[in-house]
């Protein structure tokens, strides 16, 4: 009887050990299955509840401060605010020079940049762009009396062209042999006045921006060149190439804003009634 009891106890103990081992294996598998994926950049943005955006604060009417106030506004500033609101996020702007903006996006210091940044093949190799929401083309600001001695783009050779070093417009100036004059996040007035007094000869830039910039300084002896129209362009906000979820969500709400006319309304407010969301065609 004593021997039988021992066998039964041994069987019971073996059963308990087996059950314990199985339970342990089961818990291990459950733990593996429930392990969470690493947080993405989009997860972190949602957790913090803030979209960080680089802009210049000096590019009228895209990003600037209204005279007499400290309020940052402008076409793309307001587009970004609407994007953030639809994504249920706050927005925090950081004012930087053009080159610094792109570096800050690339290094993850900010989530995106918005400052009339043209979509190009070269930039698409290093950054992710949103759906375009502004279409335009290039023009040139020159002195009114002699058009700065420029008749065609070929006449840029040897002229002093003002602008940001990495802008597509400065690339055009260099391509045609102009001498580049680079400013560190200067205001429109500085750029325009230097052309008027002869420190520089020309500013190559976007048609809409140039038109409104000149209208703000009617006392300056400058004009948009009547014959220079080139490089049709598309503009969107810029994001890090790895932030795919952010781009998907941004593009989703931009699509909604284009569909319901929100961006067209914002455009009319800052571009004297013009709708920059409409694609343009020019004869080059």
Q: Is residue 26 part of a domain?
A: no
Indicate if 197 and 71 belong to the same structural domain: no
- List pLDDT tens digits, range 128-150: 999 999 999 999 999 999 999 99
- Identify the pLDDT of residue 36: 67
Residues of the chain where predicted confidence (pLDDT) is lower than 50? 1-31
CA–CA separation, 44 vs 191, rounded Å? Answer: 39
Q: Does residue 54 fall inside a structural domain? A: yes
| 280 domain residue, yes or no | no
Residue 31 belongs to some domain of the structure: no
* Shared-domain flag, residues 227 and 163: yes
Helices (H), 54-114: 75-86, 98-106
Residues 180, 228 within the same domain: yes
Residues 170 and 83 in one domain: no
In which domain, by residue range, is 95 found? 41-133+236-270
Do 84 and 112 reside in the same domain of the chain? yes
Handedness of CA 62, 63, 64, 70 (dihedral sign): positive
Residues in the chain: 284
Do both 73 and 191 map to the same domain? no
Is residue 110 domain-resident?
yes
pLDDT at 37: 73
Query: What letters, b where the CB count within 10 A reaches 16 and e where it falls short, cover 121-146?
Result: eebeeebbbbbbbbbbbbbbbbbeee
Q: Are residues 83 and 208 in the same domain?
A: no
Query: Domain containing 226 — which CATH number?
Result: 3.40.190.10
CA 205 to chain CA mean position, Å: 17
Decide: residue 156, CB within 10 A, 0-12 exposed, 13-18 middle, 19+ buried: buried
Place of tokens 């969301």: 277
Verify that 50 and 98 share a domain, yes or no: yes
pLDDT at 3: 40
In terms of domains, do 82 and 195 share one? no
Cβ atoms within 10 A of the Cβ of 273, count? 8
pTM of the model: 0.76
Q: Is residue 27 part of a domain?
A: no
- pLDDT (0 to 100) of residue 23: 43
Pairing of strands 160-163, 179-182: parallel
Same domain, 55 and 179: no
In a domain, 149, yes or no: yes
- Does 281 fall in a domain? no
The sheet carrying 72-73 orders its strands as: 58-59, 63-65, 72-73
- Identify whether residues 129 and 78 lie together within a single domain: yes
The total number of structural domains that make up the chain: 2
Which pLDDT does position 166 carry in this prediction? 84
Q: Do 129 and 173 fall within a single domain?
A: no
pLDDT at 184: 77
């Amino acid at each position: 009887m004593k021997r039988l009891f021992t066998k039964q106890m041994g069987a019971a103990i073996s059963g308990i050990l087996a059950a314990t081992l199985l339970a342990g294996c089961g818990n291990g598998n459950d733990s593996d299955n429930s392990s969470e994926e690493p947080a993405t950049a989009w997860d972190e943005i949602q957790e913090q509840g803030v979209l960080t955006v680089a802009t210049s604060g000096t590019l009228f009417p895209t990003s600037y401060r209204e005279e007499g106030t400290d309020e940052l506004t402008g076409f793309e500033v307001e587009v970004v605010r609407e994007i953030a609101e639809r994504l249920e996020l706050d927005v925090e702007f950081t004012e930087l020079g053009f080159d610094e903006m792109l570096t800050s996006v690339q290094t993850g210091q900010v989530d995106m940049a918005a400052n009339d940044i043209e979509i190009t093949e070269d930039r698409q190799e290093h950054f992710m762009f949103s759906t375009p929401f502004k279409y335009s083309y290039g023009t040139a600001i020159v002195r009114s009396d002699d058009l700065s001695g420029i008749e065609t783009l070929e006449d840029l050779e040897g002229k002093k062209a003002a602008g940001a070093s990495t802008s597509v417009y400065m690339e055009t100036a260099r391509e045609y042999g102009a001498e580049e004059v680079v400013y560190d996040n200067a205001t429109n007035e500085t750029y325009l006045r230097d052309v008027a007094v002869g420190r520089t000869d020309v500013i190559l830039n976007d048609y809409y921006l140039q038109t409104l910039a000149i209208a703000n300084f009617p006392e300056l002896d400058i004009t948009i060149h009547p014959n220079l129209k080139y490089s049709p362009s598309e503009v969107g906000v810029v994001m890090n190439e790895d932030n795919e979820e952010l781009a998907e969500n941004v593009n989703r709400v931009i699509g909604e804003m284009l569909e319901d006319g929100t961006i067209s309304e914002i455009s009319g407010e800052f571009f004297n009634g013009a709708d920059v969301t409409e694609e343009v065609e020019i004869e080059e």
